Amino acid sequence: MKLYDKNALARFLGMTPKNIDRLVQKGILKPKLGNLFVPGEAVRSYIVYLRGKSPEAADFNEERAKLTRAKRQKAELELSVAEGGLHSSEDIEKVMSTMLINFKSRLSALPAEEADRLAVMTDKVKIFKHLNARVKEILTELSNFEETFQEVIKEDGKEDS
């Protein structure tokens, strides 16, 4: 077993002999015989000290990877919004409100629009078919989300300009 003095150990660990003295005073490094050190033990003791000294430093790479991953995900979302693949919740809320208000208005107007026509009809099958066709026509508006979305967003763009 070879023993090294503090100067040789300092060169081996890439520090000054004064740093070796400080580590000895703190009890991190322990000389084996007088002022001589066993290099393997000294290196292990120093590594344990470094790991215990700052747990944040040990997790630095992991935290950096998390930050990089978050930045990438943010960039992907921004690109998806720019390409029209994603929409903001405010836009969706505005479009859904517009669609439901239009739907309610159209359904509410149906009796007034059809009252005169239905008053003269006597065949129940024809009344049913006519009302069914009108309700389906109104419901079709709800299924055209993309079309309504484009209209509402365009109107918003004009208001902002």
- Which runs of E-coded beta strand occur in 6-158? none
Mean pLDDT on 23-40: 88
pLDDT digits (tens, 9 = 90+) for 33-90: 888 988 888 888 888 888 776 444 446 677 788 889 999 999 998 888 888 777 778 8
Indicate the burial class of 15 (C-beta count within 10 angstroms; 0-12, 13-18, 19 or more): middle
Mean pLDDT on 115-120: 90
| Mean pLDDT across the chain | 83
Is the overall model pTM greater than 0.85, yes or no?
A: no
pLDDT digits (tens, 9 = 90+) for 123-153: 999 999 999 999 998 888 877 777 777 777 6
pLDDT score for 91: 80
Residue 14 backbone zone (phi > 0: left; psi -120 to 50: alpha; other: beta): left
C-alpha dist (Å) from residue 85 to 27, 32, 80, 91 = 60, 67, 5, 13
Separation between Cα atoms, residue 37 and residue 161, nearest integer Å: 76
